[in-house]
Amino acid sequence: MELAPVVRSEWLKIRTLRSLPGTLLALFAATTAFSAIAGASDTSDPGFDPLFTALSGVIPGQIAAVSFGAMAVSSEFRSGALRLSLAAVPRRGRWFAAKAAVIAVPALLVGWVTALAALLVARSGLGPAADGLGTAEQVRAVVGCGVYLMLMALLAAGLAALLRSGTATLSLLIPFILVVSFVIGDATGTVADFLPDKAGQSVLRQTHDGASLGPWPGLAVTALWAAAALLAGAWSLRRRDA
């Protein structure tokens, strides 16, 4: 079977499984709401970064992106759905590529819309504190934010294929994200800078003083993590019975 019909059939699954569009809606709602709250924060801190503050809603919101990727794949492992999918598309690599594509595209598009909305809402709250943000910086952050959310969804999708469980994937990734965000915090110049979420979030910052990675190298590191997870998931899919 050609790739295009496989992509269409996988896209139909995404559209008809109600929980999946729901996670994308939650991504938009949570990110925008938390960014609006952040926009009302104190701006007197010497280390205040207005761009990161405006898009900080992505930190809790990314849990929805991770859930989207994990659930889109883990749904195949329930009630023998994967056997039916592979009966229609015997070439497992082609099927998994189509699955990754229909996860990536909506996550990217919703990520861009979400980032733009979050930035606009937070800027209205920050007021004069955001006046120093340049157009190029804001465009870079919005574009990079959408790419980051897509990569986190793909990371979750690869792990779900490897672990064959959405619950196990979320039980691993969500605490990991929370540890990086709230325990390691703003530590820079350490191995933490190369973890998937911390590296990718560098694209959301206005300045990168003392950081090991700039905006695009940071996203590249996150992309490597996502690629490794997808390759591991593809390997598991080829080696294990449906």
Low-confidence winner among 1-15, 77-91, 95-109 (lowest mean pLDDT): 77-91
**Residue 81: what pLDDT?**
74
Q: With bands split at pLDDT 50, 70 and 90, how would you rate the model's confidence at 30? A: very high
Say whether pLDDT at 101 is over 80: yes
In this structure, is the dihedral angle defined by the CA atoms of residues 237, 200, 216 and 139, taken in order, positive or negative?
A: positive
Residue 102 has pLDDT above 80, yes or no: yes
Residue 186 has pLDDT above 70, yes or no: no
Whole-angstrom distance, CA of residue 226 vs CA of residue 157? 9
Reported as a single tens digit per residue, the pLDDT across 206-230 is 877 666 788 899 999 999 999 999 9
Q: Which range is most confident: 100-104, 132-136, 193-197? A: 100-104
Residue 21, pLDDT above cutoff 90:
yes
pLDDT tens-digit profile of 52-63?
989 999 999 999
Distance between CA 187 and CA 211 in Å, rounded?
Answer: 9
Q: How many CB atoms lie under 10 A from the CB of residue 129?
A: 18
Res 192: pLDDT = 75
Greater confidence, 184 or 71? 71
Query: Which tokens in the block code for residue 125?
Result: 């709250």
Backbone φ and ψ for 157, nearest 5 degrees, come out as -65, -45
pLDDT above 80: residue 185: no
CA of 134: how far to CAs of 51, 130, 171, 238, in Å?
10, 9, 39, 48
> What's the rounded Cα separation, in Å, for the pair 198 and 189?
11
Looking at residue 181, what is its pLDDT? 60
User: Which of 147, 119, 152 has the alpha carbon at shortest distance from 52?
Assistant: 119
For residue 5, the model assigns a pLDDT of 82
Exposure class string for 96-118: b at 16+ Cβ within 10 A, else e: bbbbbebbbebbbebbbbbbbbb
Q: Are 215 and 203 in contact (CB under 8 A)?
A: yes
- Of the pLDDT bands very low, low, confident and very high (cuts 50, 70, 90), residue 241 is low
pLDDT of residue 162: 94
pLDDT, averaged across the chain: 87
- Residue 15 predicted with pLDDT over 90: no
The domain spans of the chain are: 3-239
